[in-house]
Amino acid sequence: MLRFQSGRQGLVDNQGQYGLFIYASNALRCTVAGHIALSANNVVVPGEWQHIACVYDGTALRVYRNGINVAETPGTGPILTNGNSGVSLAQDNPDGDEFIGRLDQVRIWNTARS
């Protein structure tokens, strides 16, 4: 569940490799491969549990809400693996931008799921 605050809140971030963020404007932003980004407006609903997924298969970046594809953009290239600061949950890595809410059953896969 989520409570909006000003600015950006990090859900999952591995600096320069991939990330998933929520903005105060109710936009969800997914980044991958160091150069592909996708914003989906009006996806998250404050105060309501929902399943959010960001999927990259090497040809497209997609955002799903409760199993429904709500946004996608083409993109190519491998996900970068040269980071050395690890994965951060509920905040940006390494700058903060903490998520105010609850996360449950976070999974990061090394293969694209539908």
- pLDDT beyond 90 at 64: yes
Counting every residue written for the chain, the total comes to 114
- Is residue 20 within 8 A of residue 27, CB to CB? The reply is no
Parallel, antiparallel, or unpaired for β 68-74 and 60-65? antiparallel
User: pLDDT-derived band of residue 55, with 50, 70 and 90 as boundaries?
Assistant: very high
Cα–Cα dist 59/25, whole Å? 28
Helix (H, G, I), strand (E, B) or coil at 64: strand
More confident residue, 12 or 46: 12
68-101 pLDDT, tens digit per residue, is: 999 999 998 887 777 677 777 777 777 777 887 7
List, in order, residues 6 or more apart from 13 with CB less than 8 Å away. Answer: 19, 20, 21, 87, 88, 91, 92, 93
What's the average model confidence in pLDDT over 5-19?
81
Token reading at 75? 């993109």
Q: For the whole prediction, is pTM greater than 0.85? A: no
Token reading at 99? 């998520």
